[in-house]
A = this chain, B = another copy of it.
Amino acid sequence: MAISNRVSAYLSTSSAIRRMFEEGLALKARFGADAVCDFSIGNPDVPPPAAFRRILREEAAVEEPQVHGYMPNAGHLFVRDAIARRINALQGTDLDSRHVVVTCGAGGALNVALKALVNPGDEVLACTPSFLEYRFYCENHGASFVTVPGRPDFDLDVDALAAAISERTAAVIVNSPNNPSGRIYPESTLRNLGRMLQARSSAVGRTVYLLGDEPYRDITYGDRVPSLFAVYPHTVVCTSWSKTLSLPGERIGFLAVHREAEDSARLLEACALCNRILGFVNAPALMQRVIARLQDEAVDVEVYRRRRDAMTAILDAAGYAYAAPQGTFYLFVRSPLVNDVDFVDRLKDERILTVPGSAFGWPGWFRIAYCTDEAVIARSADGFEKAMRKAAGA
């Protein structure tokens, strides 16, 4: 057997979710894609803004020498400068180009930051429900991903995080707006978190880093997303334009380090080095140039709001309980059956594809990704209603 033991184990354990996707594909093959309501994946279908399409065409026509060549591993200086200025304008920070590393999406940014920060045997903490890809990202660099349950209202449980912090803790990951709950963590919670991290860092004798994962920052419905930089100095924020501009396949994002973070200059040097040696080398050159000119652009969030409202109306009518979504394009819904995997199977019988909450460390719930056509949402009403009726009767 030539495959790494760990990766082999990943392939076996991830087979449950993969089987679900394969069954979804089989459903589409059998009944036609139009007969299946696929709410399983977060692949945004709202088109990028017109400004993106225009600027991409302009930048693609640029023929300056080495426009597609290497640049510093941290990214073009003018790109990092544009990013720093936007963060400053929106979050009241005082960053400059030196505090930014342009990356291959948020997934790239998180891997770079984790490689720069963790030692083998370290732990990285988060509250559930949580995007569980973090587990792989931590294990890539020899750390463990440890979760504690969030609060019943999907806020962070700062006390639970505090209790889990030890001298092995390298970082706490905070993802707001949250995938899957759509929750924006309130400023008061984040202030508590900052105070707690300061106190616990002193107590355990190690600076615990705060890692923000914020790809949904621009997909919100009225509530502001408070800045992590404002609550704690030892903060690295990772994000991308995947959702802001509907470009997840282009792999363009960044990480930004707080000016006052411990040893920030060396940490940024470490991040640039890790960007190189993990094989990213640098974020894609053309997209760097494109996003530098699109700092104030975002997709039309009203489209997502209409879909959210259409979907919640369907759920309300059928009697489902769900977390009030403040951001993202996800709805996190209480399963009428205790076993969320069973209920997701029942929904599949109605040709509706969703993801069980167990996949986010939060059993008893399931996730709907409503980055899909409104016709599909409308078509799903009967199925949601039927599945609820059958579950209530069961």
Q: State A7–B141 Cα separation when bound (angstroms).
A: 11
Q: Does A105 contact B (CB under 8 A)?
A: yes
- Across chains A and B, which 8 residue pairs bring their CB atoms closest together, nearest first? A249-B285, A60-B60, A111-B279, A107-B279, A136-B277, A108-B279, A68-B247, A43-B70
Known: A3-B270, A45-B65, A107-B276. 13 other contacts (CB 8 A): A2-B263, A3-B263, A4-B141, A4-B270, A5-B119, A60-B60, A70-B248, A70-B249, A108-B279, A250-B285, A251-B283, A280-B280, A284-B287
Segment among A8-16, A29-37, A190-198 that sits at the interface with chain B: A8-16
Are B284 and A251 touching (Cβ within 8 A)?
A: yes
Residues of B within 8 A of A141 (CB): 4
Q: Which of A64-104 contact B (CB under 8 A)?
A: 65-66, 68-71, 104
- How distant is the Cα of A270 from the Cα of B266 in the complex, in angstroms? 34
B63/A47 in contact, CB under 8 A: yes
Which chain A residues (117-159) contact chain B, with CB distance < 8 Å? 117-119, 133, 136-137, 140-142
Asked whether any CB of chain B lies closer than 8 Å to the CB of A256, the reply is no
Interface magnitude class on chain A: 35 or more
Is B66's CB under 8 angstroms from A43's CB?
yes
Interface membership of chain A positions 247-290, coded 1 if the CB is closer than 8 angstroms to chain B and 0 otherwise: 11111000000000111001101100110111111111111000
